[in-house]
């Protein structure tokens, strides 16, 4: 069988894509494990967390961390375990130190002793910038599908 219409894979881009996937795996596991402050450290100092479900964006790593801590503590108090799944990543390299990532995000919630439920289906658009140690979120916009 011959496949036509494909282009050769750029090994440099393949490595970048793998690094971005690893960034998201680490980031979402931090949040789901209740490590709100460590999760906030994956944002730049002036990073923005925004979305169509928010009254106003959280601006700055400290504000992002405070909002995440409040959410994590609320779910913990109600006995709910959250899991975030990010997939279908589209990575657009703008330059050596900046990428635009568009993906889908699903949020699953499992009440203690209960069954998991899909709580939210969203689109996520991130501007990531290179840090000496990897990548950081400069701006995240979450678009919840149920809000149009």
The pTM score is 0.91
pLDDT at 8: 61
Question: What's the pLDDT at 18?
Answer: 96
User: For the chain, what are the domain ranges?
Assistant: 11-147
**What does the DSSP assignment read for 71-89?**
HHHHHHHTTEEEEEEEEEE
User: Is residue 5 predicted with pLDDT exceeding 80?
Assistant: no
Domain 11-147, classified CATH 3.20.20.70, yes or no: no
1: pLDDT strictly greater than 80: no
Q: Is 70 exceeded by the pLDDT of residue 66?
A: yes
Tell me which residue of 38, 42, 9 sits closest to 126, measured CA to CA.
42
**Cα–Cα distances in Å, from 77 out to 29, 91, 110, 113?**
19, 36, 13, 14
For the chain, what is the mean pLDDT? 94
Asked if residue 126 lies in contact with residue 100, where contact means CB atoms within 8 angstroms, the answer is: yes
């Amino acid at each position: 069988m011959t496949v036509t219409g494909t282009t050769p894979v750029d090994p440099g881009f393949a490595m970048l894509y793998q690094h971005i996937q690893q960034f998201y795996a680490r980031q979402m596991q931090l949040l789901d494990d209740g490590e709100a402050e460590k999760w906030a450290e994956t944002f730049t100092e002036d990073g923005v967390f925004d979305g169509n479900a928010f009254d106003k964006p959280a601006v700055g790593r400290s504000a992002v961390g405070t909002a995440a801590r409040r959410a994590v503590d609320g779910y913990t108090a109600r006995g709910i375990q959250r899991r975030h799944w990010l997939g279908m990543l589209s990575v657009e390299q703008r330059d050596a130190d900046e990428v635009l990532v568009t993906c889908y995000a699903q949020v699953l919630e499992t009440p203690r002793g209960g069954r998991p439920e899909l709580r939210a289906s969203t689109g996520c658009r991130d501007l990531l910038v290179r840090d000496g140690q990897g990548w950081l979120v400069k701006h995240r916009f979450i678009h919840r599908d149920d809000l149009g």
